[in-house]
Structure 1
Amino acid sequence: MFSEMARLPVVHIGRSALGLLLLLCSCTFFAQAQKNIEVVRKIDLSSAVVRIDMTILANDLNGKYVVSFAKHLAPKLSFLQIAMGNQPLPWIRLPDAGDGLAHFQAEVPQGMTEAKLTVFGTLAGALVPVPAEIELTENQLVQYLDSHTFPSLYPTARQTTTFALGVSHIESFTKRDPYSRTGKDLVFGPITDIEGGAAASLSPITIHYQNNAPFVKALQAIREIEVSHWGNVAFEDFVEVKHAGAALKGGFSRLDFQARGAPSAVRGLVAVLPLGARSIYYRDQIGNISTSVIQHGPDGVELNLQSRFPLVGGWKNQFYQGYSVPVQELLTVGPSSGGVRRFTLTVPFSVPFPEVWVEDLTVKVVLPEWAADVRVEIPFSVDEEHQTHRLTFLDSSLSGGRPVLILKKRNVVAEHMQPMVLSYSFPTRAMLLEPLYLVLAFFSFFLVCMIFARVDLRINADGGKKKSKTHNLKSSYSPSWEIAACGKVSKVEISRFAMIECRWRLVQ
């Protein structure tokens, strides 16, 4: 009965106090049956985003396993993957049980008495600058709050937690025995025989240490991908970034920045582009920025962007960069069925900046006109998905314009830079419409020019009569008559004047 209640949708359980009670009973049942044999945690605190990597050896799984985090970290959890070997497991978040923990339940294959699970998660915004303001030349100190033991509903026989700080300078930390400092790491454990439940397994600690990593947060990022069957897939990323670290105290001095440096300032960003990227540009609101370096490697193109000014704590900047990739590198074509083919587009989901975590990301995929039956596959969930249409050059209102797929997601980190597979149906004959539009447009233009050149739009009522009289006068004029009347010229001269008269008549 308890296992059946665990399969109920989360929304139904959250609406009923009885459902919550049954959930707690279910967790208690699993806690009594299951056990963590060994847990190894490594928490990377060397960058602006916290990364948690856990290896759990558990027995008596009963088809389910619940991973727990401290409740204050749940809103900052931007990415979570629970896997068995190389196979990711589906998971759902359980309703709040009021025990100070956030629970995530994964479905484990049935019939396994012992399994080794790997859990990977990222926390965006979990590091708090303390103090909140520093001077330009000061080092940045941050604080991290977590549990030095693995919070779990199940009893744990043995566990070890390692905090990788990236630096050896630690202002202070909560001392829990047994602990040790090894180089740039802070190790708690091994700890044995920990009871299950939040009261026994949750042990808060605080670590205050130096961290001058780039604290770059994108307040807003808009990625637009435009697909053309005539040669290119165009990418353009608009990014509004902010230095999310300790705010600058006092004014900014270019002299101090050049002479003494600013340890926590961000001088530039690195973008990782596809291998076939070309026509790369980088601009801001003023115009083109030439201080960028492109390096081609075996796996891709690395674009090093240098902004017009360094980013210090609290400062913001806006820019956009773009590039094109040959369509044959990203688009595949399926067999034809009734003149319609299925096209499959594989592109990165997020913006190409691994060091930047995005607070609000919008992805727009503009497909060719007449594309239909659009489907998208992403290895993680998104917050919003809908479609619209857009009319651009050479588009017709008959089809409604080009389909635009819009995806939105919050708290996007480097782990979300995974391939997005988008497929759509497209009639092959529709590719001939745009050349036909161009041919008709040029034909119509030249036809109008020809008609306009042959139409006399001048208004002159007496022009025809005057022209005819003048023509009669000129035709009656003959230079040879005047020569004959003179009578004093030679025959040779008369023949010359006759030739002139013939030419005159031909001209008339």
Structure 2
Amino acid sequence: MWSLAITTAILSFASSAFCADKGNLTTPLTSKVILPSTFTPPQNFQNANLVHVISLEKNYPKESINVIIENIASTAQDEYFIPFTSQQMATIGGLEVKDRKDADAGLFAVDAVEFDTKSDTQFYRIRLPTPLAPKAQQTLGISFSYLSALNPLPANIAQMDKQYLVYTFSAYCQSAYVTLKQKTEVKFPSTNIPEYTILPGEGGEKESPQKSGTKFTYGSYGKLPAGAIEPVKVRYEFTKPLIHVSSLERDVEVSHWGGNIAFEERYVMTNRAANLSKPFSRVEWASQQYYNPPTSAIRDLKFPLKVGSLDPYFTDVIGNVSTSRFRSNKREAHLEIKPRFPVFGAWNYPFRVGWSADLKNYLRKLNTGNGYVLNVPFLEGPKQPEGMEYEHVELRVILPEGAENIQYSTTVPLVSTSISLHRTFMDTTGRTTLTLKAINIVDEFRDRELIVTYEYPFLAGFRKPIVIFVTMVSLYTAAWGIGTLDISIKGKKRS
């Protein structure tokens, strides 16, 4: 009996090792390209027209660059470079590039270029899917966000005071190429903008910015050389929390036997809002909540889950938190949680939430063979009107024991991937686990799909029951064998 159990364990280990070797570890989307320290982007392009849009409507700045690029070289070109400062490179996230006139072309390949770590100017390289012919033009849509880029001013406020944020940028969009025409639009969350930089007009033009409700426009500007900048600072009201998740660990556990999929998310959350100038007053807080005034504190978090989600839970370092509500019906599954205390500026709140769902809503078996396709959201956390930013995200997809030939697909920029074994209760060798890591992403990536394909042989589903059965029979056999032994003490017979 024991030999059969050992044989089963050896076979399962070999299967898992084979799975790890054949895993589809695709190249991370934010891989670095090493270039010589003397590198400068070749002037193969010029920007015929550029519109730079900065959105400050959430608790992180999102920038979009819509630019018509023109190949001014004598040969076809497919590499376009975007410059950033070293500080921007450390906080930039979710950089995506696409063809504005061809939505079906998909996202372009983007790489971080590393050529001189001491230089304050770094680059991202965009690879055009088709080389651009001489004198031809193409319209690019470039979007990205910055984390931890907004700072409260003043840095300390009273409990119910208004909050103001400061953001510094360039009225001239940073570019490695000559730009013939451009303008910068800034969108604010409200019209309360007490301070902003005014730039004089040139050549009879009006001074900037031109105001239109909650939108400021700097420019338009004529021909500008590569690398031109014009610093601009704005200060505006944003009496909302600045939710920053320094670490998110998200587990997705698949169980074929139970027909269940379990989700758990572990957060280390910080509010980057202005600090309190006086100690927190629970009495003042309670008296103001009837009027529901704007506040920079985190009062609650709303999780719109997929229809059919079940059994949610909410815990923190103390234990279970009862201040949560779950509403589920045929149209929605909405989880609303409230921390034990309002989270003000510079306060931390680590917690975890989890829920389960019917596996058939996420998993589909292929028509032929033993293949399965799993479709889950990469992020499924809170959906807040003020937005959320994530510094480090680690997603683990824990597949059934014996799953092999793992492949995946997602549009979320990744920094690393790995396949390993995760051992849980009554496992023989461990469950196959796909681990994906991302940095500096925002809540706009919420609900982006992660598609995982794998093979799960029919006999692999019986591995655990067989091992458990063999182990139990062996224990009973050993107990019976020990019970038949005669261990009584008998006196020696005299002759």
Normalising by structure 1, we get a TM-score of 0.77
Q: Which string of whole-angstrom CA distances, capped at 9 and with x for unpartnered residues, describes residues 155-187 of structure 1?
A: 323222111110111131111233222222222
Q: Pick from 205, 208, 214: which aligns with 1:184?
A: 214
Quote the residue 1:54 is aligned against: 65
Q: Pick from 157, 167, 179: which aligns with 2:180?
A: 157
Q: Pick from 414, 427, 430: which aligns with 2:460?
A: 430
Is the alpha carbon distance of 1:384 and 1:334 closer, same or farther for their aligned partners in structure 2, counting shifts above 3 Å?
A: same
Quote the residue 2:266 is aligned against: 238
Displacement after TM superposition at 1:428 (Å): 0.8
Q: Which string of whole-angstrom CA distances, capped at 9 and with x for unpartnered residues, describes residues 121-163 of structure 1?
A: 1111111122222221211111101101212233323222111
Is the alpha carbon distance of 1:185 and 1:259 closer, same or farther for their aligned partners in structure 2, counting shifts above 3 Å?
A: farther
Q: Pick from 42, 46, 50: which aligns with 2:53?
A: 42
| Correspondence list, 1:365-376, <5 A | 365-376=397-408
Quote the residue 1:74 is aligned against: 89
Q: Pick from 131, 134, 152: which aligns with 2:157?
A: 134
Q: Pick from 108, 111, 128: which aligns with 1:89?
A: 108
What's the secondary structure of 1:259's corresponding residue?
helix
Quote the residue 2:23 is aligned against: none
Quote the residue 2:333 is aligned against: 301
Quote the residue 2:277 is aligned against: 249
Distance 1:237 1:289 in 2: 15
- 1:395 and 2:427 aligned: yes
Q: Which string of whole-angstrom CA distances, capped at 9 and with x for unpartnered residues, describes residues 362-389 of structure 1?
A: 2222221112232333324423323332
Distance 1:429 1:161 in 2: 61
- Bigger Cα Rg: 1
What's the secondary structure of 2:189's corresponding residue?
coil
Q: Contact 1:375–1:424 at 8 Å: present in 2 too?
A: yes
Q: Contact 2:389–2:442 at 8 Å: present in 1 too?
A: yes
Tell me which moved more, 276-285 or 244-253: 276-285
Q: Contact 1:264–1:312 at 8 Å: present in 2 too?
A: yes
Displacement after TM superposition at 1:313 (Å): 0.7
Is the alpha carbon distance of 1:70 and 1:389 closer, same or farther for their aligned partners in structure 2, counting shifts above 3 Å?
A: closer
Q: Which string of whole-angstrom CA distances, capped at 9 and with x for unpartnered residues, describes residues 211-236 of structure 1?
A: 12321112222111111112011110
Distance 2:108 2:348 in 1: 39
Is the alpha carbon distance of 1:75 and 1:42 closer, same or farther for their aligned partners in structure 2, counting shifts above 3 Å?
A: same
Is the alpha carbon distance of 1:255 and 1:96 closer, same or farther for their aligned partners in structure 2, counting shifts above 3 Å?
A: farther
Number of matched residues? 433
Q: Which string of whole-angstrom CA distances, capped at 9 and with x for unpartnered residues, describes residues 254-278 of structure 1?
A: 1211234562111011223222322
Q: Which amino acid in structure 1 is aligned with residue 137 of structure 2?
A: E
Is the alpha carbon distance of 1:262 and 1:164 closer, same or farther for their aligned partners in structure 2, counting shifts above 3 Å?
A: closer
Distance 2:245 2:90 in 1: 18
Distance 1:196 1:38 in 2: 13
Task: Specify which structure has the bigger relative contact order, considering alpha-carbon pairs within 8 angstroms and separated by 6 or more residues.
Answer: 2
Distance 1:71 1:432 in 2: 54
Q: Which amino acid in structure 1 is aligned with residue 456 of structure 2?
A: F
Distance 1:214 1:455 in 2: 72
What's the secondary structure of 2:381's corresponding residue?
coil
Q: Contact 2:415–2:437 at 8 Å: present in 1 too?
A: yes
What's the secondary structure of 2:283's corresponding residue?
helix
Displacement after TM superposition at 1:117 (Å): 1.2
Q: Contact 2:305–2:380 at 8 Å: present in 1 too?
A: no
Distance 2:137 2:425 in 1: 61
Q: Which amino acid in structure 2 is aligned with residue 59 of structure 1?
A: E
Q: Which amino acid in structure 1 is aligned with residue 216 of structure 2?
A: L
Quote the residue 1:107 is aligned against: 127
Quote the residue 2:414 is aligned against: 382
Distance 1:432 1:94 in 2: 49
Identity %: 22
Is the alpha carbon distance of 1:164 and 1:295 closer, same or farther for their aligned partners in structure 2, counting shifts above 3 Å?
A: farther
Displacement after TM superposition at 1:45 (Å): 0.7
Q: Pick from 220, 245, 267: which aligns with 1:218?
A: 245
Is the alpha carbon distance of 1:456 and 1:178 closer, same or farther for their aligned partners in structure 2, counting shifts above 3 Å?
A: closer
Task: Indicate the structure with greater helix content.
Answer: 1
Quote the residue 1:195 is aligned against: 224
Distance 1:443 1:152 in 2: 72
Quote the residue 1:119 is aligned against: 142
Q: Contact 2:251–2:396 at 8 Å: present in 1 too?
A: yes
Is the alpha carbon distance of 1:216 and 1:297 closer, same or farther for their aligned partners in structure 2, counting shifts above 3 Å?
A: farther
Distance 1:111 1:371 in 2: 44
Distance 1:456 1:381 in 2: 65
Q: Contact 1:136–1:262 at 8 Å: present in 2 too?
A: no
RMSD: 3.1
Q: Which amino acid in structure 1 is aligned with residue 399 of structure 2?
A: L
